[in-house]
Amino acid sequence: MESRVTVSPPSPARSTTITALQARTSTCAVSQNSSGEVRATVIDLGVGRPVTFLHGLVGLNDHWEGVVERVSTRNRCVLFEIPLLQLRGEDCSINGATRMTVEFLREYVREPSVLVGNSFGGHVALKIALEHPELVAGLVLAGSSGLLERTMVKEITVRPSREWLVRKIGELFYDKSLMREADIDRAHRELTDRGGARAMVKLSRSARSDHLGEKIANILAPTLLIWGKQDVVTPPEAAAEFREKLRDSRIVWFDRCGHAPMMECPELFADALLAFCLELDERQAKAKGG
């Protein structure tokens, strides 16, 4: 569907850590379903080079809080949370999510941004770098899909049990103690709904069918790959293939870390991201200086 991003008045931030940082929180309409508008949540804090964070299929803005707390001291951090399981029709696809994100970047961020994407969000970031390179100052990919992914969706049922979700969400982590009860409860609630479960399957299948392959070599944006050595969803060989295909890329490996390095190793993630942004600043200054 065609729509313009219209940001609503500020609303309270859900994350206590981000709230403490005096973030600007709002929502914007990105789609429609039978119940009405589907609204994304936007958190904006800090000043400087914009860094836009894109979550995975079961991700939230809150999952970036440990990273953003550190990175926002030197950069403008924009967190964009689409309620993916509420999407329907053509919008419920990797192409639909990409289209919404492009519109958001053009109308809200309004300048080239470093796109930081985990899993499905990394796939969206890659597609934007391919199709709309003018919006991208750099890429940071963490457990990104787009080449190789071992998904939990093949086993999903219309009403998965909470025990099944604990096991499957647990596979995202090396340290299972970092699973959040609130995330399990939310996933159980959303996937118990028939529409939510169907959206999960449709989104996952659309991403798997959108294999980027050799097209990745056309991406010119500087790219940082942040990967957990124990990631079983997008395993280390996926990171190695990204590194081989992306022209201007490097890898930072985190040991004892799974598919969500921003949650398992937020300090290390933030340090790597800050160093990458500093490198981009130095490149930009050198280019201007001739």
Domains of the chain in start order, with CATH, are 16-282 (3.40.50.1820)
Indicate the pTM of the whole model: 0.90
Instruction: Give whole-number Cα distances, 288 to 16, 222, 277, 278, in Å.
Output: 40, 17, 17, 15
The fraction of the chain above a pLDDT of 90, given in percent, is 66
Cα 45 from Cα 41, distance rounded (Å): 13
User: Do β-strands 24-33 and 136-142 pair in parallel, antiparallel, or remain unpaired?
Assistant: unpaired
290 falls in which pLDDT band (50, 70, 90)?
low
Rounded Cα distance, 79 and 25, in Å: 9
Q: Which of 86, 85, 122 has its CA nearest to residue 101?
A: 122
Distances (CA, A) of 113 to 1, 102, 243: 24, 11, 21
pLDDT tens digits for range 9-39: 444 444 456 655 667 899 998 888 777 888 9
Tens digit of pLDDT for each residue in 108-128? 999 999 999 999 999 999 999
Q: 66 and 262 in contact (C-beta within 8 Å)?
A: yes
- Cα atoms in the Cβ-side hemisphere of radius 13 Å centred on 30: 31
Distance from the Cα of residue 148 to its chain's centroid: 16
Condensed to tens digits (0 to 9), the pLDDT of residues 43-99 reads 999 999 999 999 998 889 999 999 999 999 999 999 999 999 999 999 999 999 999
Among 86-100, 176-190, 273-287, the minimum mean pLDDT is found in 176-190
Q: How many CB atoms lie within 10 A of CB 139?
A: 26
